[in-house]
Amino acid sequence: MTPQSTPLWTWQAATAATAGNVSQGWQARGVSIDSRSVGLGDLFVALKGPNFDGHDYVAGAFDKGASVAMVTHRPANVAENADLIVVDDTMDGLSALARYRRAQSGARIVAVTGSVGKTGTKEALTFLLSRVGETHASAGNLNNHIGAPLSLARMPAQSDYGVFELGMNHAGEIDPLSRLVRPHVAIITTIAPVHMEFFASIEGIAEAKAEIFAGVEPGGTAVLNRDNPHYDLLALRAREAGIENIIGFGSHAEARFRLVSVEIGADGSRIEATCDGKKLKYRLALPGRHQAHNSLAVLAAIHAVGADVADAAKAFGEIQPPAGRGARHKVKAGKIEFLLIDDSYNASPVSMVAALRVLADVAPARKGRRIAVLGDMLELGPDENKFHRDMAEDAAAAGIDLVFAAGTRMAHMFNALPAHLRGGRADTSSDLSPMVAAALRDGDVVLVKGSAGSKTGLIVRDLLALDPRHASQQPAH
C-alpha cells in the first residue's frame, strides 16, 4: 500500500476491533496477508490454510518492515519485544478489523458483482469517484471470503467512497460478504453461464448473485441489467430484501439509465444515453458494446451515491483498459508490426463473444488479418463441450480470418471451424505460442483470450517479447 500521513491502524483501534491481547504503542500504515509483499509499517495477518501457516512467515514479515503481526501465538523465531495482536483465530481477527472499519466509516459504499464485467466496472467506478473524493477500492480481484475483509480492513478511515468487488463460485458465498461490506449501492452487472460446474442452472447463478442484497443499508439502491432475462427475478429479490430504489440499465425501453446509441470504433466508443431522463453524450476509451452497457451501470451508481453524473461521463474517455482486460499493444517484430489485444485474464461464453465482436470492429492495417487466439473456458459444467463448440459459429460470424486454439476443451471449437479459419491448435498455451508467432503478418490484429487457468497470458508474454520496447510490459498472469 502507498504510505499514508495518517496511520491506517493504531493499537487502540485494533484493541477495540479484536478484543485481543494487543501490544501497545504501535501504528500500521497497511494490512498484508502475504509476507512476500509486506510493506514498511504493515500489519501482517498470519492466516492459516490447508497447505500453509502464516505463522511460519511472521519473522520474515518483521524483517521486511512490518510493524505488528496478528497471530494466535508468538512463533518461536519471533523476538520477545515484537509487537503482536494475539487472537483466537486470525481469519476471525481480520474480519473483526473489517467490521470495525466499516462501522466507523462515513464513506458511501458500492458493492459490485456479476457473472462478467465486475472488475472493469469496479475499476471504472473507482477512477471516476476518485475525482470527487477520497476513494478506496478492493485491489485486483480480492473478492472472496479473504479478499473482501482484507480490502475493507485496508480502507482509510477518512475515505469518502468505497468500492468493493464481491465474487463467488458457490451459492451462499456472497451473503456474508455483503453483510460485512454493508453497501449503500449493489450492482449486478449481468447473469451468464459462468461457474456452471457448481450450479444446476443459470437461475441458480442469479439467485447466488442476488445474495448481494442481503447487506444493503436501509434506503440503499440496486443497480441491475435491464436487458438480462433474469432482471425480474433480481428485482424481486431486491425488493424482498427491503430495497425500494432499483435502477435498471441497458438498452431496454424501461431502463432508467438507457443506451440510446453507440458508435463503436477501433479505439473506443461514442455513446448517447438517457440517465434518469437527462440526455448525455460521452466517449469511452474502452471499445465494445458490452463496455457501453457497463458504463451505464457505473453512471447509475454514481447517481446513487450522490455524485455528478454528467461530470463523471466526461471523464470516461480517460479510462484505459488494464493488462489482461483489453489492453492494446503495437508490437514491432523485425519487418512486421501487429496490434495485440490482451484479454487473457479470464473468459466465459459471454465475455468471449464480446471480445470477438471487439476484434471484428478493429480494421487491420495494410493487408493484415483478424486473428483470434482462444484458450479453454473453465468451470462451465456438463455442457462445457457445447459452449466451446458454439464458439466456432461466433468466430465465423464475427468475420475472424484465422483462429488458434489452446486446450483440450477449445479443441471442440477448433474442430467445428471451417478449414480455412483453422490456424493451429495445441493442448497448452506454451505449445501454441510459437505457432501463433510464426503465422504473424504485417498489419495483423491479434486477440488473445482464455480463462486464467488456460494460461493464455503466456502467449501475450511471448508476443510482447518479440518487441524489445515491451520487455518491461510483459504480464505476470
CATH code assigned to 105-318: 3.40.1190.10
**What would the pLDDT profile of 409-448 be if each residue is shown by its tens digit?**
999 999 999 999 999 999 999 999 999 999 999 999 999 9
pTM over 0.85: no
| Residue ranges of domains in the chain | 9-90, 105-318, 327-470
What pLDDT is recorded for position 38?
A: 95
**What would the pLDDT profile of 216-248 be if each residue is shown by its tens digit?**
999 999 999 999 999 999 999 999 999 999 999
Residue 2 has pLDDT above 70, yes or no: no
Domain pair 9-90 / 105-318, same fold: no
pLDDT tier for residue 306 given thresholds of 50, 70 and 90 = very high
Residue 288 has pLDDT above 60, yes or no: yes
CATH 3.40.640.10 fits 327-470, yes or no: no
Mean pLDDT of 62-84: 96
Distances (CA, A) of 45 to 3, 10, 62, 96, 132: 18, 15, 12, 12, 32
What pLDDT is recorded for position 473?
A: 54
CATH of 9-90, one of 3.40.1390.10, 3.40.50.720, 3.40.50.1980, 3.30.56.10: 3.40.1390.10
Mean pLDDT of 99-122: 94
The secondary structure of 217-278 as a DSSP string is PTT-EEEEETTSTTHHHHHHHHHHTT--EEEEEESSTT-SEEEEEEEEETTEEEEEEEETTE
What pLDDT is recorded for position 472?
A: 55
Cell of 149: 475483509
Give the integer Cα–Cα distance in Å for 374 and 409.
11
pLDDT tier for residue 70 given thresholds of 50, 70 and 90 = very high
**What would the pLDDT profile of 374-410 be if each residue is shown by its tens digit?**
999 988 888 899 999 999 999 999 999 999 999 999 9
Cell of 255: 431502463
Contact 376, 408 (CB under 8 A): yes
Q: Which residues are 284's β-sheet partners?
A: 269
Give the integer Cα–Cα distance in Å for 178 and 163.
12
% the chain with pLDDT above 90? 78
Mean pLDDT, the chain, as a whole number? 92
Residue 476 has pLDDT above 50, yes or no: no
What pLDDT is recorded for position 452?
A: 87
**What would the pLDDT profile of 245-279 be if each residue is shown by its tens digit?**
999 999 999 999 999 999 877 667 899 999 999 99
CB neighbours (10 Å) of residue 92? 12
